[in-house]
A and B are shown apart, each in its own frame.
Chain A
Amino acid sequence: MTELIQRTDEQRLAEFMARIERGEKIEATDWMPDEYRITLVKFMQMHALSEVMGALPEKEWVPKAPTLARKLSLMAKVQDEMGHGQLILRVAEDLAVPLGKNREDLVNELFTGQAKFHNVFHMPAPTWADAGIIGWLVDGAAVVSQAALLDSSYGPYARVLQRVCAEEGFHIQHGESICLALAEGTPAQRQMLQEALTRWWESLLLFFGPAETTSASATILLKYRFRTKTNEELRQKFFSKYVPRIWSLGLTLPDPDFRWNESTQLWEYTAPDWSKLKAIARNEGPLSQYRLGLRRISYEQTRWVREALLGGSSARAV
């Protein structure tokens, strides 16, 4: 009997891989190998929580935005990020059910450190130019990596990403608008922009992760075509899209060795300090604990809303 079940699982895995190789989309209710389910839940959980945590450095600038128009766009953006978190959590929770986890577990694992959030959101945003750089380059890096997932093997995630990417397209234009205004502004504004770029450069390199992706989850994501591009391919694409634009504004990268290598057709750059990524993964980045604290406070302070929404439904259900 055991042998029979074993064989069936092997057959199912073979069918599953054949579907992946034919470019078919996997749906939430389909049979899937455990490692696919577990790795995807982890990935989407991190994506969703990063959307939520990504709103925190930006919302710091809502009260301090220089004009009403900027304040409105920034508010819209913060709202979008929270919306993305909701949509992606919704997709993640469907896959997590057979693992015995619900939506609340996925959210709470942020506080216990079992779930991570993206390295860039552990960093400070001390000036208005940082808000601009986040929109222009951090969201630009996010669009590069998310657009590469639009043909992901997991159907529900690929579908939700279409909406996410469309809205990120607005965010990068907003960020560009801020940075272009500063680049064409006073010497002090130009200097502020240059300082923000210098501050964010290493984080932007760390954003895509190490070139040699040997981690178990990275291998699984590639094997099942959840993603098809490597970290380094995405980083190179980011350079190609953005570095010429950075230079055209008269800004300089804080890396004297950065250059285009004609023979390899690759950008060469000084590697960032990868140990920083590991520290951030342990929530030991510059603002990791501060931002987790903010998130904890807001989660606790809105608990009554979540409970009231449930209370209302039970009254109506009678």
Chain B
Amino acid sequence: MGVEYRIFEVFIQKDHGSPHVWVGSVDAGSPDDALLLARESFLRRDPAVSIWVVEQHRIHRTDYEDRDFFARESDKTYRMLSGYNKANAERWRKYKKNLLDLEKDFVKD
């Protein structure tokens, strides 16, 4: 027959506010079947709004052994919240003010 099952990687988006997240893979003869199998394998309980299937060999990926690609400078605190918030909170205390918090004071308030 010459046609074989192919491996499709499966990405599921649980709601419109969330990204597609890789959940696993399925063997299927076609993309349509892969979508169906993905629904049956990964969504027997959880709701979702979208599934992507991608043939495994179409994915370009980094090599786990290529540590250099992911090499990083040792101290990244200058890019991080944690590099500033503690010292700032300490200073604000002098003025009897709390540190503003993204989630608490801007997103939720």
Instruction: Point out residues on A near B: beta carbons under 8 Å.
Output: 27, 29-31, 76, 79-80, 83, 86-87, 90, 93, 103, 159-160, 163, 167, 307, 309-314, 316-317
**Shortest distance from the beta carbon of B6 to any chain A beta carbon, whole Å:** 8
**Shortest distance from the beta carbon of A107 to any chain B beta carbon, whole Å:** 11
> How would you classify the secondary structure of chain A's contact residues: helix, strand, loop or mixed?
helix
The answer to whether B3 touches A317 (Cβ under 8 A) is yes
The answer to whether B29 touches A160 (Cβ under 8 A) is no
Residue of A29, A103, A163, A313 near B64 (CB, 8 A) is A29
B20-28, B74-82, B86-94, B95-103 - the one binding chain A: B20-28
**4 new A-B contacts at CB < 8 Å, known A86-B26, A93-B27, A167-B45:** A29-B63, A90-B7, A313-B33, A316-B30
The answer to whether B24 touches A310 (Cβ under 8 A) is no
Contacts of A159 in B (CB 8 A): 24
A160–B41 CA distance with the chains assembled, in angstroms: 11
The answer to whether the Cβ of B68 comes within 8 Å of any Cβ in the partner chain is no
Total of A-B residue pairs, C-beta within 8 Å: 60
Residue of B5, B24, B37, B45 near A160 (CB, 8 A) is B24
| A83-B41, A83-B44, A160-B24 known; A310-B29 Cβ under 8 A | yes
Contacts of A103 in B (CB 8 A): 5, 27
The answer to whether B64 touches A310 (Cβ under 8 A) is no
Q: How large is the interface on B (under 10, 10 to 19, 20 to 34, 35 or more residues)?
A: 20 to 34
A266–B89 CA distance with the chains assembled, in angstroms: 52
A212–B76 CA distance with the chains assembled, in angstroms: 49
The answer to whether B3 touches A313 (Cβ under 8 A) is yes
The answer to whether A80 touches B44 (Cβ under 8 A) is yes
Residue of A76, A80, A309 near B33 (CB, 8 A) is A309
The answer to whether the Cβ of B49 comes within 8 Å of any Cβ in the partner chain is no
Contacts of A314 in B (CB 8 A): 1-3, 29
Contacts of A87 in B (CB 8 A): 24, 41
The answer to whether A313 touches B29 (Cβ under 8 A) is yes
Q: Which 6 A-B pairs have the closest CB atoms?
A: A313-B29, A313-B30, A314-B3, A309-B29, A310-B29, A310-B3
A93–B6 CA distance with the chains assembled, in angstroms: 12
Q: Which of B37-90 contact A (CB under 8 A)?
A: 37, 40-42, 44-45, 63-65
Most chain A CB inside 10 Å of its own CB: which residue of B23, B27, B29, B45: B29
| A160-B24, A312-B30, A312-B33 known; A27-B44 Cβ under 8 A | no
**Shortest distance from the beta carbon of B87 to any chain A beta carbon, whole Å:** 33
**Shortest distance from the beta carbon of A97 to any chain B beta carbon, whole Å:** 10
Contacts of B32 in A (CB 8 A): 316
